[in-house]
Amino acid sequence: MKYQNLGGIMTDYISFSICNICNLCCPYCYKEKDEHIFKIENLIYLKKLKDLGINVINISGGEPYCNPNIHNILEELSESFYLYLSSNGLLIDKKELDYINQNQKIRLLSLPLYGSRKYNDSITAQGHFDKIISIIKAYKSGAYGFSLKINTVVTKDNLLDLERFYVEYLLGKDVIWRLFELQFKGDFKLRSSSVDYANMHIDGKIIEGFAQKMNSLYRDEKIFAGTKTDLKNVLMLEPNLDVCTSHPDYVKVTNLLSEDFEVEFKKLQEDNHLICGKY
């Protein structure tokens, strides 16, 4: 992905959480769940990122479909940006796939799937595996203009089964497969202290090697490895437009946004129009 210039600060893209509510509670998710939700009337402030050089926004959460205004947000932002959409997939059906396809600015739908039905549903929820597989099948059988990406966190619990999983469910499906390294609390706070990082974590170099092997073996150019270093150039915005601290230029970006938005934010607060509310 090309780097974008955010007022002189280089970043991959903006990842924007339109709500921190989620209908899942995956044990090693980095997001803290709360009731904060982005209010659509504040899109005017988010659109100012266009003037700072941002062209792509990844719409995420929490679970973005827990924001009842998601369609309005997607339609408004697509006037200024190309969009990626990251969801857990539980609230997406064939009708929603068709809706996404109608918006030509939505270039990517990203969904999680962690391996076999038993393993995946032990992390997410019962029925989640079948839901994502049904989306993959619908995508494969349709003529969709956006790309579909499946994200898998690789651990010692699922590594040995991933090749079988790929052959059975992803091979020949024209989907992108992204393999991620499990994050430690020092990088992102794991939701559950019961996650045994030491006994689950696999080094990013091993994951990269596995991705290369799979690409070579199955002549697939759509398998990629994502490591902890990939997160350093992702600017993450919370529903209240605060900047997450994962970015190395956090202080600079915060100051930059403050300089650009300080007057508008102050007036917004004085008028008692909260930037984030509760759902």
Residue 190 has pLDDT above 50, yes or no: no
The predicted model scores a pTM of: 0.85
pLDDT in tens, 137-174: 999 998 899 999 999 999 999 999 999 999 999 998 78
Q: Which fold has domain 4-278?
A: TIM Barrel (3.20.20)
Host H or E run for residue 14? strand 13-17
Q: Which residue is it, tokens 């607060």? A: 269
Task: Identify the CA nearest to 175 among candidates 222, 216, 225, 213.
Answer: 222
Residue 12 has pLDDT above 70, yes or no: no
Beta strand residue intervals within the chain, DSSP E: 4-6, 9-11, 13-17, 36-38, 56-60, 82-86, 106-112, 147-154, 176-181, 223-226, 234-237, 276-278
How confident is residue 52, by pLDDT bands cut at 50, 70 and 90? Answer: confident
R_g over Cα of the chain: 19
If you average pLDDT over residues 28-54, what whole number do you get?
78
Host H or E run for residue 209? helix 204-218
End-to-end CA distance of the chain: 34
Instruction: Tell me the pLDDT of the chain averaged across its residues.
Output: 82
pLDDT in tens, 81-121: 999 999 999 999 999 999 999 999 999 999 999 999 999 99
**Bridge partner list, 19:** 37
